Every structure is written in C-alpha cells, then in structure tokens.
Structure 1
Amino acid sequence: MRSFYTFVLSIILLSAGTVHSQVPGKVEQLSDAQIQEFIQKSQASGLSEAQIEQLALQRGYTQQDVIKMRDRIAKLKAGQTKTSSSQSAETETSRKQTEAVAEKAPTVVAKQQSTSKTEAEDNTTQTKEVFGSSFFRNATLSFEPNLRIATPKNYSLGPEDELNVEIFGSSVQSYKLKVSPEGSIRIENSGPILVNGLTIEEAKAKIASRLRQLYSMPGIGINVTLGNVRSIKVTITGEVVRPGSYTISSLATVFNAIYQSGGPTANGSFRLIQLRRNNKLIRTIDLYDFLLKGDEKDNVGLRDQDVLVFPDYQARVELNGEIRRPLIFEIKEGETLKDVFQFAGGFTDQAYTATITVRRNTSKELKILNIQQDFFGSFIPQNGDRFTVGTILDRYENRVQIAGAVFRPGEYALDESIGTLKQLIQKAEGVRGDAFLDRIFIRREKENLDVENISVDLGKVLRGEIEDVKLQRQDFVTIKSIEELREKYTVSIGGAVSNGGNFEYTENMTLSDLVTLAGGFAEGAVSSRIEVSRRIKQEDTTAKSKANVQVFTLSIDKDLKITSQEKAFTLQPYDVIYVRTDPAYEAQKLVEIVGEVNYPGNYAIERKDERLVDLIKRAGGLKDKAFLKAARFYRQGELVAVDLERIMKNPGSKDNLRLEDKDRLLIPQKDELVRIAGGVLNPATVNYQDNSLEKYIAQAGGFTDQAIRKKVYVTYANGRTNTTKQVLGFKSYPKIEPGATINVPIEDTTIQRRMEPAERIAVFSLIGSLLIATGSVLASVLRN
C-alpha cells in the first residue's frame, strides 16, 4: 500500500512537471496507458511520499486529485494483472511481496475466455444473485497479505527467503542471508547451513549452534528474524473468473488467492473449493463459514505449487418473499431447509412461517410442495428448489374493538377474561355518563366475510334484564353519546354587543350570562329593550299554529350585576337575542374640506340637514384665490360633479348637497391651463386665452386623420363634461374654461383596412354600371 500511495502522488507530480506536454490537465482525462507509464517512471523518481505530495500541492493540485487517482489505479488493477513491489532502505527487516500472474498457456487463456462467455450467458438468464458473488465485485476491498506481522511459527523456510541474523553481547555482528535454491544459507568462515523446510525457531537453533562453534566466547546472544519473503507460485483452476498461475507472497493465504482470482463463476462452487498439494486433497474450503460467521478456519497458508480447484456447484436453491436475504444459496449434502433459512438471515417480521411453498423440478414438469413449520429441520432441499415465504394475513385471530362513550376505547384481546359484551365494557373502564344505552351497535364479520349489524339495549344488559351477548373475533362495538344523537345546542346574540355571534348553550344560561360571553354591551346599547326570539316546538303535525316563533322583550341590569330576578327567565337552545341601540345615540360623522378655505380639515356633521355651503362657512369661508368652478366633491371616493359657484350664489338650490359621512370637498386655486389630448397632431398643455375650442385645436396642430370631430368633448375642472352638438348641420363646440381638458376621440383603425386592387376594380365597375343604367333611364324619360 505504501508503494501504491507513492505511485499516486508520482503520477500527479509527473502530470504537472516532467511529462506535462503529454498529459491532460485533469485526472479524469488520463488514459490507462498513461497511468501505466507514470507508474514505471515514479519508481525512479527518488523522492519520498511527503516530497511528492508537497510538490503536487504547490503546483495547484488538491487532495481530491490524489483520491481520484487512487480510484483510477484501483479500477485498473481490478481488471488486469497485478504487480506490486515495495522495498525500504531504512530498515534491514523489510519484506518484499511480488504478486504477478505468470504467463498462461494458450489453452488456459482460451479456457478463461470460454468461462467468461459462459458466465455472461448465465447472468442473462439468472433472475437472482448468488449469495457471496457481490463480495468479489467490491473494488474497495483488499485481501493482500499483511507483511508487517510477526513471522508465523509454522512458516517453512525455502529458497529466496531472507534471514536477518544478529549477534550481540561481547561480540556484535549482523548478517543478511538469503536461502539458496538448494535450501541453505552461508555464513562467513562457515560452511552452508541447510534450513529448507525448517521453521524460524528450528532455523534459529541450528544457526545458533553453528555460530557458537565459530565464536567460542561466553555471553554471546543470537537473534534470527525473517527479512524479505520469497514468492511462491499457486495455480487456480476450475470454475473461477480468472484462472491461471499466480506468483504471490509466501505469506499469502487461501483467501488472498481466491480474491485475486475473482471468485467462482456462475457455475462455480462457493462451498467445495479444493486445496491440493502434491496431487493430494489437503482441505475443502467453505466460503459460507467466512461470509456468514467470519470464521477463518479455512484461511490456511499456501505453499509453492499449491493448486486451488473450483468445482461445479452440486445444488442450489432460491428463496423469495418475506426473507431477509432473498437470494440463491448453495447447499451441501445433508443440509436441511432450516440451514438454508439460517444462510438467508431468517424471516422478516411479516413472514408467514406456518407453511412454506416449494416449487420443485421433476424429470417432466414442475410440482408444488407445502412444508409445515415443524418439518423445516428435517426437509432436505434439492437442486433447483424455489422456496416462497408468504406474508401474514392482515387480520387478527383474537381481536375485538370498542369505540365511543367508554372511558378506554381501543383494541382488546378476545380471551378467557373477555368473552362477552359486559366483560368488554368492564375492561374498557365502563361507560361514560353521557352514553346512550338504549341502543348500541356490534359490527360483526360473518363466515362469508359479509358484515352484519347487531343492535343491543346495553342498559338492559348491564342491569341483567336480558342475556349478555357473546362476542366473536373481529367484533366492533360502538356506543354513541347522547350529544352525538342530537343537534348541537347553541344560542346567538347580535346588535349592540362587543362580540356577537353563536355560543354553546349550557343549562340554566341567563340573558346576562350570554351578554357577558359576548363581551358586554356596546356604546349606545339599550339594556331595557332586549328582544329574544324562540322556536316553538309542535309535536303534533296536524295542529295549526298562527306562529312558529315566540318573541320576548326583556330588561337586564346595565352593569350586568347578578340580580334576584335574573333566574326568572333562562335561555333555551337556539334562542336568538338582539340588543337594540338607543335611537338618540349616533357616532360622529366626519367630512373633510381642503384647499382654498381659511380653516381646512375634518368637521363633524352637526345636523342631519347640514349642506355644502354650511361646511364652507364653518371652515371660515373662501380665500381670495379660491376657484369655485374647479371645486371637486367626492362621496365614498367617487367624484360627483357640482357647480360650487352657482351653489354659493343660490344656497337654496338643489345642487347644495346634504353632507354625509366621509364626504370630501376640494377647492383649488385657479388653474390657468388648458389641456388638449387625443386625435390632434401635437397633444399639449397651453395657457388659457379665451373660450374658443377651435383656437386650442389649432395650437395643438389641428385634427389628425383619425380624429372624430363630431364627438369632441370637454372635461371641466370640477369633473363635469360637455360634448359637441349639431345645430342645423353645423357643429357647436363646448366653451372652454380654465383648467379644462379637451378630448378628441380617435377612430379604431384596427377594424379598417385598404381595399385590394381587385376589390377597387369591382367597386368602380359597379359604379360605372350604375351610371350607365341611370343615363339610359333618363334618356328614355326625356324621349317620352
């Protein structure tokens, strides 16, 4: 992993420096060939990991670039031959691992291609995943052997292993000794020492014995450790994704080799993998023990020339439905259905386990088997069996329910303590005081799943007057309250109260109580003349009554104090109360006058017959610059045209309007301008000169072609309008006053269009024909 990290940083450095001209700027743009080239060059860079990383960061690369490159290399390594090596010059006890796939014979390569093709074909027809196959597809996992652990006690030395021998005490000396192909090591001044096949402890004792013969001095200690380890060759064959010969570390185990090979193919076995040594079966490996329990008893060490064989699977079964891992599982001889369910992690919470359905292949067709729960431990599955675990029914075997006017409504178990209606009510803490006992309902599900309703007089059941009702599974008891069976009782109040509206009726409610609930009397309320209207109930429909409402006029204390006479009249449900207002009481009504008066502002209407002239007098009269012809009067925000000049001259005229609440009178100064708008060539605003409209039209450049001259109208400053009139065929335009606006309407040109040439020719032809016909008629008349 150390060398791998160095390669990642080296690639980033090289992409930014030495081969910058050949490498794109982004890590994603590097090709696989470039990555391979950079891996080779990084080995000769001579820089430490820290130095490479620092240089990469200085050149603008981020830590995310390092992570991206690591992912690229991981994916590249997962799809091709792996070669990794690491060697440290800082310590004498480093170990070296070489993992490379040896060259395969053409027949082996052909077999691998055939196997891959077969696997692809199987995957297209397989509907479910085989348990364990996802383990080998995880590119983030690494099953490389740990090279930094202590040398295993049972490790057997062999050629290419390196031993570190240290002599300490009265003499200090150290040796790095590599085991020769003949299995021996050689110490200076000594003959070869055969260590092939020995453990470290055995080799240590043998080397110590030889060194003590050379150094015949007391107090000498000897330590022997394993340095660089040798490589071994392991062959993996059979139904495996990547078969072939692998050169791996002598510390590698079975699981290391299996993971490098990609695991079993679609037809390969996960549970019968054979480890063969010297043409003898050493161990049968079951990956399920490791995948399910983490048991590494089969993860034994490998030796040179070991062979791993992946045979075809013997039997597989498929699990569907309410199971935690609905996958395909491989089974071995003697395993039961219970074992298969354990492989799958057991059932889900909603699993129906009373009976399991099995679809089994026969020599001719399919057949169905139903396995009872008691036989799970004895039923032997067969190859191709498909087990389906159903879902429990959405129903209860012992539930009854109660709702309504009881203290604890809900669900209850139908058991020894609850078997009847009376017992169920006792479990529900009894009925409430407002319960309607004369008729309750039991909703019952019949055997054909139809629903029937059973009515019961609960009062008689509780008193023991009739027999108790026996309950059945799925019964639903409903007890209505008295309030639910009648219309909600309310009373309403309106008029001179603060917050009128509908209120809930309560027994013994008085008129003062309701007024208090409504926030008390409003200003101007008359407490001595309160009207109450009450419904008249007529039980006899044949009786004829003159009225269906009875009206009372009552008086209560103005301050809502409790009096002795208060209880003499109590309200009844649906009474409607109205509190009258004193006819002499009225809130202030305000009008506003602004502009050219001496005291503008808001004024309260003193009398009901107060008028415009009165308001001007109360405002201190008009100022010298007041222009009465332009006075504007607004009522409820709408402009009302008034001639204030004529009103001031004749206050008794009908134009002198009576004032109302929120009226507004605006008296401006004289406006010396006249505005011309609409169908003129140059709409403008000009000084007032005289009352001739034609002069102002001329000042605006005259009428346009689209102007409608006969509909010209004038809007005066006070809001009145005057239109053009026709007198004996002549137009009589309205007079102009200061502040007026001349409006010239324009024709809607969107509905007009030019006649096409053909249309004009047709019109001219028609006119010509009419003239000729007319001339002929006149000539005939003259001749006669």
Structure 2
Amino acid sequence: MNRSRTQSYWSTHHDAPFLLFRQLPALSFFFLLLAATTGFAQQPSRADQLNDEQIIEFYQRAQGSGLTEMQIEQAAMSQGYTLTDIAKMRQRMAKIRQQSNRTGQFSVDTLINRSQQGTLSQRPYALGDSLNLLRRDTIRRPYIFGASLFQGTNLTFEPNLRIATPRNYVVGPDDELVVEIYGNSTESFRLRVTPEGSVRMLNLAPIFVSGLTIEQAEQRIVGRLRQAYQGLNRPGSGTYASVTLGNIRSIRVTMVGEVVVPGTYTLSSLSTAFNALYLSGGPNPETGSFRDIQVIRNNRVIRTIDLYDYLLRADKKDDIRLLDQDVIRVNDYGVRVEMVGQVKRPAIYEVKPGETLKNVLNFAGGFTDRAYTFSITLRRNTPRELRISTITQDQIATFIPQSGDKYTTGEILNRYENRIQVSGAVMRPGDYALGNEITTVRSLISRAEGLRKDAFLNRAILYRERENTDLEAIPFDVGRLMRNETEDIPLLRQDSVHIYSVRDLREPYYVSIEGAVNRPDTIPFVTNLTVTDLIALSGGFQEGATPTRIEVARRIREDTTKVTGAETVQVFQFAIDRELNLQPADARFILKPFDVVYVRTSPRYALQQNVSVYGEVMHPGNYAIESRSERISDMLRRVGGLKSGAFLPGARFSRRGNVIATDLGAILDDPGVPGNLLLEVGDSILIPKRPETVSIQGAVLNPSTISYIEGLSFKDYVTQAGGFTDNARQKRAYVVYANGLKDRTKRFLFFRKYPKIEPGSRVIVPFEPLNDQRPLTPGERIGLISVLGTMTITLTTVIINLVRLF
C-alpha cells in the first residue's frame, strides 16, 4: 500500500450497509485472516510484527475476497485499527514493491493480480492501482514537474502528533483536554469535549470551549476553577493550573476536482492541506493543476495553494491547518509547456498568467554548462499543424508561453570561434585567443614568450583549416621571420603553428659503458663528457677491472663508401689508474654520441668457485678451486684423506645435479685415467659408508632389498627376489653400482655371464616389450633354418632338371 489514508466509504456510498451485509462472509474471512496470520489484534504495535511474506499474503487474500481498498480500511477502522497501523501497512507494501521492482524478482503486484484475474475490470479504481499507472505513464511520457512529490514512498507528510499544543489550535468536539492543578493542591482531569462543545469537571457548571483556541479555552477553564480554588494562577496563591491537549479529534475533509482519488477523508485535527493532498494521491498529473489548488471553508476560498512555491523555494506558507468539513479543490491545469535539451530539469511545467519564458527557464533550473544559450527552438501547435520558431536571448524575458509549447535548448558546438595554437619549441606552447594583440605568426610566438634555444630555425609549419575542413600545410622559415627578413603571416581562426626542435630531427643521443664497472648503463649524451666522467657515473671500477685496458668504440659517421679498409667502427684504447686519471695524451679525449666504453676484467681475476666434498672424509665441506687445472684427484688429497668407514667403490661424483659414473678408487690409484675430470663450480663428491644391502627391481616375482652376502652371485640374488617372471628379459639384465657405473649381462654362444654384485648394487631385470613381436628362441631358429635349407635344395633340383630337358 502506498498511502496512509482512511477514506470514508459511508459518505460516498449510500447503499454501503446493504453491500456489507451481502459481503458478510468475506468480512468474516478477512478478520479471521488477521487473527490467524498475525496474531496482533490485542497488541499495541501491529504492523511492525508482520514480516514481508505475511503482508503479501494478507493483502492478496483481502483483495481476493472482493473488497476494495476503501472497504478494507473502513472495516479495519471499525475493528479498532488506527490510522498509524494502516499507514505502516501501506509503507511496508510500498517498500516491498520498490525492492521487487529494483531486483527484477517476482513482484507483489504480480502475486496480487494472479488472484484477481477476471475481476480486475469490475474492481473500483483503487489508490494503489492509480499510482502504479502513474509510474508506468511517467516512464513513457515526459516528466511532469511536481508529480513525484506525491509518488515517493519515503515522503508521507504525516502530521507530528508529539509536538507541543499549538497556541492557535481551535478546540472542537471529541478533543481531550488535560487539566493539571499543582502547588498547594494537586489534581488532574482529562476532559473530553462533548458534541455540544462543552466540558464538565467537579461539581461546576459545563464550560463551553468549542471554537475557542487552546489558550482561550485555558483562560475560561481556569476562570471557572477559581470557584473551587481561590486565587488560582494568581501571584502568592500557591496553586496553579495548566490546560493542554490530550487525545485529538478527527476531522473530515473532502477532496474534489482533479485529484488522483477524490472523496472524503478522515484526518487528525492537526493535519494540514499537504497531508490531505498526499493522502488523496495529489493532483492528477494528466489533468490537475499544481498551481491552482483551493482550500474552501464555509463556502469561501480561504487559500490558493501554489505547489511550485514549496518545490522550488521550500515555502510552506500555504500549508495551512485544516478544520472539519473543509473542502480542497484541485482545478484543471491552465497552460503547460515542455522544456527539453540542455536545461537542468527537463520536464513539463505549468505557467500562470503573466509569467514569461524566463520564469519557465528558472523553474527548469536554468541552462546547463554545455547549453547553447544564443537561441531556443520553439515548437508550437497551430489550429492546423505545427510551427517552428526561434527565440533569441533578448526575447526570453518578455516571451509569453502558450499551452502545448515545447522549448528545446541545444548544445554548444565542439569548436572554437577564436582559437589558435602553437606547439613545439616555444617557451609556452598551448591555445591562444585570436584578436587584438595576436594576429600574426610573429605576434603569436612573442606571446608564447619566444623560441626555445633548441628550436630548428630553418623550417616551421602552419596548419590551416580550409573551407571544406581539410588541413593545409604552409611551411615557412621561422628564423628569417623572427629576424624580420620576411613578411609576417596573418593568422586565421583554427590556425596551428608547430616549431620543430633540433632533437625532433635526429636520433636520440646516448653513450654506453659495459664490462667491469659497478653500474653498466646507457645514459643520455652530454657534451664534453670524458671517459673518466662516464666511469664515475657508472659507479667506478669493479674489483677485478683492468684500468689499463679501456676501449672506446665509435661509429663511423662519414659515408662508408669513401672509407678505405674493412673497419666498421673506430676503436680507441686508454690507460687509466684507479684514481680515474688519464694519461696526459688522452686527457682531452671527448666522447661523442653513440660511443661505447668497454672496461676489461683482469685475466687472472676470478670469483671463488666452490666444490662440495662430504661424507666419509676427514674434513668435509666446501672447497675453492685453486686453479683451472685442478682435478678430482687433487681435491681428494686436499680433504685430508678418508675415514676408516669410507666405501670408495660407492663414491659418487655429481655435476649440475646429474650423477657422473666415475671410479674414484681407480682415480686415486692412477690420476692419469680418463675419469679424473677437471673440477667446475658446483661439483660435489660424496664418499659414503659401506652399504650393506642389494636392491633387486624389475621383472622379478618379489622386487625387494636384501642384505649383501659375500659370495652370492647375480642369479642367487634374483632367486632371493622370487626368480624371474614369465616376461623377464634375462639377457638384458644389468647392475647399477653405488658409484653410478653399470654392467650388463654378456653372452657367448649359449652361455650367459652375469655381472658381479657389490655392496649397494641395484639389480635391474627389464620386462619383455608389450607388442607381439617377441624374438625367436634358439630351437625355433634351428627349425626355421632347416625348413629354408630343404626348400633351397628342392628348388635347386627342380631348376637343374628343367635345364636338362631344354
């Protein structure tokens, strides 16, 4: 529900009792639904105890019972539900609708309409439906200024019932007055104004207060109380009394004219004209006026409300307090015009007599920053067709709008009326204004604070826009122009002057340094830079640098076709000490662009390169390679010998993570063997303890690791692993020794010689290949040879016999 209103069904439908009688079962169902679903009939706060699902179900079933919103709210009022309860229910429904529309999920309206299919056309026009229609219309049609004031779910205009009693509040029947007596005597009375307009207390005569302000009523009541309390509210009496407003009465206000939902509404006596307008949905955006709303009291117009005062200036002077039986009439709109384009609030606005287009422009918030303000385009209706007019700036203040006018404000063009540009080698490049002091190229360069020192004076270019917007290039000699040796060039709008820099016309200059310096780098070329300067910029020499062998490689810039010999660069050599002092003959050597300086490293200088030796040696650890000719045998002597538990046949030599099979025992016995390799950085040597196991892997029945037993042969160890499998390739079996060396099974005629087993060995028995092409056995080979021999002898005999016959 979108409004907190209670519309009196009895005042607008004289046959309501009969209708309610016919719908008694539906009403019974409605109130049973309230009690069963929510259970809040006897609790002080009812709407707050409902969740969203309960509210949707409640509204669906209530609407499905055939009752209109008016009947539902009237019935709820008769059962003791307050305006606050109904208002909260409406706000909750509005919030649910808003959330469902934003997320695109199954909406409340869809749920409700499903239960009302086939009966929607018979239902009376309800407030919720009207607002939904208005929202849909505003999406398709231009926005009517002011309509959103009465469509917002976060704006209720509910009267504040917790404020102090207004001193000009007029007391009427059903108001409750609270009389407090304090001081020497204390007493409290709550007096309800009777329909006759009087109140009674104690044994005093009735006091007529209807039609009096709260201040006048207080004076009259205190005056009557002085009959019981002498000197009441007088200085020195010690007894005082105050009169305030307790519960307030309800008033009935009638909304007529072009409102969304006309009718009679029951409001609180503190309600104002805006409260009533909001409860009725406000002026009908299609036909109602937002600037001619009349408040009628006793058949006399007491106030005409212009909502634009409130919308544009927050002026609530017309929001007067209503009295019982007041009538609010919303008249038809008079003149409406539409503002579109580059204004801050494009919308349809209502215009009063005497207001001009300037007033309408103020309603729209004025022009935007990009608006074309020189003229406004008008589309006006005539008795036969449309007409286009142009309104200039001078006419805006006096132009009188007519109903149906549409004013369009365009956007300024993305071009300049007096811009000229200068770029390149000037002190202040940028955009400048053509005119007065800047009319020629020379004056433009002068305004840009002149040429830079790197300006290329022999040639510059002026770009000019031709009539067909194509660009035209006009070259000129900027040096002669600035020296007044040639005629100055007049400038036109959109001209652009570009001054070249000498750096724009050449390859970027740089010099480089490589080799034994701390920060080898390439840096921009600097005039008069020497070799020592460049070495200092690169952080100086490294520790292993050879300052006496500095080379500079220089490009040959001349035409190479005229250069004799095969040289492609020129090379210069220098000797520099570590204090960066050149020899006197070389002190004046200056680097040129693209020179490359090379700093060599000492031939005998090298960083420490380590080899790791660990295991069963006397002094394991990292050892530096002493010379380029140091070998494995030399390193084994440097470690101080082997420990007693060292197993030299199992020693392993590794390089770059790979094990290189080497017999270190043979190397120690004879350093001249081929396996005595030169050492490299990162090499490692492991001398293990004597291993005590042998591993059997591959095509055996039980691959395992068993203890080494002296004297056992290859086949004995295979037997320990269960023997060969059916698909074992026995003749391909081999042994991997602890030092990485390998030995395979050898065969001589029909005999096999298996390798020797040592501690730490791994016996590997390969599997037969998975394909069907297995090798022939010896018996199969003998049979195949016999068959081939027989066939050969038979074929030979046949050929001989044939030869004899012929």
| Range of TM-score over shorter length | 0.7 to 0.9
Identify the residue that residue 626 of structure 1 maps to in structure 2.
646
> Where in structure 1 are there 5+ consecutive unaligned residues?
5-10, 45-67, 80-107, 753-773
Q: Does 1:237 align with 2:256?
A: yes
Q: What is the DSSP-based 3-state SS (H/G/I as helix, E as strand, rest coil) of the residue aligned with 2:456?
A: coil
Q: CA separation in 1, counterparts of 2:127 and 2:598?
A: 99
Identify the residue that residue 393 of structure 2 maps to in structure 1.
373
Identify the residue that residue 490 of structure 1 maps to in structure 2.
510
* Equivalent of residue 713 in structure 1, options 714, 721, 734: 734
Q: CA separation in 1, counterparts of 2:407 and 2:325?
A: 42
Q: Relative to structure 1, is the Cα distance of residues 587 and 183 closer, same or farther in structure 2, using a 3 angstrom cutoff?
A: closer
Identify the residue that residue 716 of structure 2 maps to in structure 1.
695
Q: CA separation in 2, counterparts of 1:316 and 1:144?
A: 30
Identify the residue that residue 743 of structure 1 maps to in structure 2.
764
Deviates more, 1:196-205 or 1:490-499: 196-205
Deviation at 1:596, TM superposition (A): 3.0
Identify the residue that residue 266 of structure 1 maps to in structure 2.
285
Q: CA separation in 2, counterparts of 1:683 and 1:544?
A: 77
**What amino acid does structure 2 have at the position aligned with 1:262?**
G
Deviation at 1:115, TM superposition (A): 8.9
Q: Does 1:139 align with 2:156?
A: no
Q: CA separation in 1, counterparts of 2:233 and 2:591?
A: 118
Q: Relative to structure 1, is the Cα distance of residues 333 and 694 closer, same or farther in structure 2, using a 3 angstrom cutoff?
A: farther
Structure 2 matches for 1:373-452, cutoff 5 A? 373-452=393-472
Deviation at 1:671, TM superposition (A): 1.7
Q: Does 1:123 align with 2:123?
A: no
Deviation at 1:185, TM superposition (A): 6.5
Deviation at 1:583, TM superposition (A): 3.5
Q: CA separation in 2, counterparts of 1:26 and 1:159?
A: 35
Q: Can you list the C-alpha shifts for 1:264-299, whole angstroms capped at 9, x where unaligned?
A: 233222222232334444443221111211222322
Residues 424 and 501, structure 2, Cα contact 8 Å, conserved in 1: yes
* Equivalent of residue 368 in structure 2, options 348, 359, 365: 348
Identify the residue that residue 87 of structure 1 maps to in structure 2.
none
Residues 15 and 24, structure 1, Cα contact 8 Å, conserved in 2: no
Q: Can you list the C-alpha shifts for 1:64-95, whole angstroms capped at 9, x where unaligned?
A: xxxx999657436999xxxxxxxxxxxxxxxx
Q: Relative to structure 1, is the Cα distance of residues 511 and 271 closer, same or farther in structure 2, using a 3 angstrom cutoff?
A: same
Identify the residue that residue 104 of structure 1 maps to in structure 2.
none
Identify the residue that residue 476 of structure 1 maps to in structure 2.
496
Deviation at 1:538, TM superposition (A): 2.0
Q: Does 1:254 align with 2:273?
A: yes
Q: What is the DSSP-based 3-state SS (H/G/I as helix, E as strand, rest coil) of the residue aligned with 2:542?
A: coil
Identify the residue that residue 669 of structure 1 maps to in structure 2.
689
Q: CA separation in 1, counterparts of 2:80 and 2:274?
A: 29
**What amino acid does structure 1 have at the position aligned with 2:92?**
K
Deviation at 1:604, TM superposition (A): 3.9
* Equivalent of residue 749 in structure 2, options 718, 721, 728: 728
Deviation at 1:685, TM superposition (A): 0.9
**What amino acid does structure 2 have at the position aligned with 1:308?**
I
**What amino acid does structure 1 have at the position aligned with 2:466?**
K
Deviation at 1:364, TM superposition (A): 5.2
Identify the residue that residue 681 of structure 1 maps to in structure 2.
701
Q: Relative to structure 1, is the Cα distance of residues 668 and 198 closer, same or farther in structure 2, using a 3 angstrom cutoff?
A: closer
Q: Relative to structure 1, is the Cα distance of residues 373 and 710 closer, same or farther in structure 2, using a 3 angstrom cutoff?
A: farther
Q: Percent of pairs identical after alignment?
A: 47
Residues 420 and 471, structure 1, Cα contact 8 Å, conserved in 2: yes
Deviation at 1:245, TM superposition (A): 0.9
Residues 239 and 312, structure 1, Cα contact 8 Å, conserved in 2: yes
Deviation at 1:259, TM superposition (A): 1.7
* Equivalent of residue 514 in structure 1, options 534, 539, 546: 534
Q: Relative to structure 1, is the Cα distance of residues 678 and 357 closer, same or farther in structure 2, using a 3 angstrom cutoff?
A: farther
Deviation at 1:235, TM superposition (A): 0.8
Identify the residue that residue 554 of structure 2 maps to in structure 1.
534
Q: CA separation in 2, counterparts of 1:376 and 1:439?
A: 52
Residues 672 and 738, structure 1, Cα contact 8 Å, conserved in 2: yes
Q: CA separation in 1, counterparts of 2:214 and 2:164?
A: 14
Identify the residue that residue 461 of structure 1 maps to in structure 2.
481
Q: Can you list the C-alpha shifts for 1:429-480, whole angstroms capped at 9, x where unaligned?
A: 3222222222223333333222233323221121111122333333333333
Q: Relative to structure 1, is the Cα distance of residues 275 and 457 closer, same or farther in structure 2, using a 3 angstrom cutoff?
A: same
Q: What is the DSSP-based 3-state SS (H/G/I as helix, E as strand, rest coil) of the residue aligned with 2:572?
A: strand
Q: Can you list the C-alpha shifts for 1:406-450, whole angstroms capped at 9, x where unaligned?
A: 333333333323222222323323222222222223333333222
**What amino acid does structure 2 have at the position aligned with 1:745?**
P
Q: Can you list the C-alpha shifts for 1:527-579, whole angstroms capped at 9, x where unaligned?
A: 33323222222247566554332222322234213664443322222222323
Deviation at 1:325, TM superposition (A): 1.8
Q: Relative to structure 1, is the Cα distance of residues 245 and 666 closer, same or farther in structure 2, using a 3 angstrom cutoff?
A: same
TM-score, scaled to structure 1: 0.75
Deviates more, 1:189-198 or 1:608-617: 189-198
**What amino acid does structure 2 have at the position aligned with 1:401?**
Q
**What amino acid does structure 1 have at the position aligned with 2:670?**
N
Q: CA separation in 2, counterparts of 1:514 and 1:258?
A: 87
Deviates more, 1:427-436 or 1:28-37: 28-37
Q: What is the DSSP-based 3-state SS (H/G/I as helix, E as strand, rest coil) of the residue aligned with 2:290?
A: coil
Q: What is the DSSP-based 3-state SS (H/G/I as helix, E as strand, rest coil) of the residue aligned with 1:439?
A: strand
Deviation at 1:347, TM superposition (A): 2.1
Q: CA separation in 1, counterparts of 2:181 and 2:42?
A: 46
> Where in structure 2 are there 5+ consecutive unaligned residues?
5-34, 60-71, 97-121, 235-239, 773-790
**What amino acid does structure 2 have at the position aligned with 1:666?**
L
Q: Does 1:601 align with 2:618?
A: no
Q: Does 1:309 align with 2:360?
A: no
Structure 2 matches for 1:547-562, cutoff 5 A? 547-561=567-581
Q: CA separation in 1, counterparts of 2:131 and 2:612?
A: 98
Residues 359 and 387, structure 1, Cα contact 8 Å, conserved in 2: yes
Q: Relative to structure 1, is the Cα distance of residues 334 and 694 closer, same or farther in structure 2, using a 3 angstrom cutoff?
A: farther
Q: Relative to structure 1, is the Cα distance of residues 184 and 465 closer, same or farther in structure 2, using a 3 angstrom cutoff?
A: same
Q: Does 1:294 align with 2:314?
A: yes
Identify the residue that residue 338 of structure 2 maps to in structure 1.
318
Deviates more, 1:488-497 or 1:703-712: 703-712
Q: What is the DSSP-based 3-state SS (H/G/I as helix, E as strand, rest coil) of the residue aligned with 2:458?
A: coil
Residues 510 and 566, structure 1, Cα contact 8 Å, conserved in 2: no
Residues 181 and 242, structure 2, Cα contact 8 Å, conserved in 1: no
Deviation at 1:199, TM superposition (A): 5.3
Q: Relative to structure 1, is the Cα distance of residues 250 and 691 closer, same or farther in structure 2, using a 3 angstrom cutoff?
A: same
Q: CA separation in 2, counterparts of 1:643 and 1:680?
A: 29
Q: CA RMSD in A?
A: 4.7
Q: Relative to structure 1, is the Cα distance of residues 621 and 256 closer, same or farther in structure 2, using a 3 angstrom cutoff?
A: closer
Residues 151 and 226, structure 1, Cα contact 8 Å, conserved in 2: no
Deviation at 1:503, TM superposition (A): 3.2
Deviation at 1:161, TM superposition (A): 5.1
* Equivalent of residue 648 in structure 1, options 646, 665, 668: 668
Q: CA separation in 1, counterparts of 2:732 and 2:384?
A: 102
Q: What is the DSSP-based 3-state SS (H/G/I as helix, E as strand, rest coil) of the residue aligned with 1:437?
A: strand
Q: Relative to structure 1, is the Cα distance of residues 684 and 223 closer, same or farther in structure 2, using a 3 angstrom cutoff?
A: closer
Q: Relative to structure 1, is the Cα distance of residues 676 and 278 closer, same or farther in structure 2, using a 3 angstrom cutoff?
A: same
Deviation at 1:687, TM superposition (A): 1.6
Q: Relative to structure 1, is the Cα distance of residues 459 and 275 closer, same or farther in structure 2, using a 3 angstrom cutoff?
A: same
**What amino acid does structure 2 have at the position aligned with 1:516?**
A
Residues 163 and 224, structure 1, Cα contact 8 Å, conserved in 2: no
Identify the residue that residue 100 of structure 1 maps to in structure 2.
none
Q: CA separation in 2, counterparts of 1:542 and 1:262?
A: 98
Deviation at 1:699, TM superposition (A): 1.9
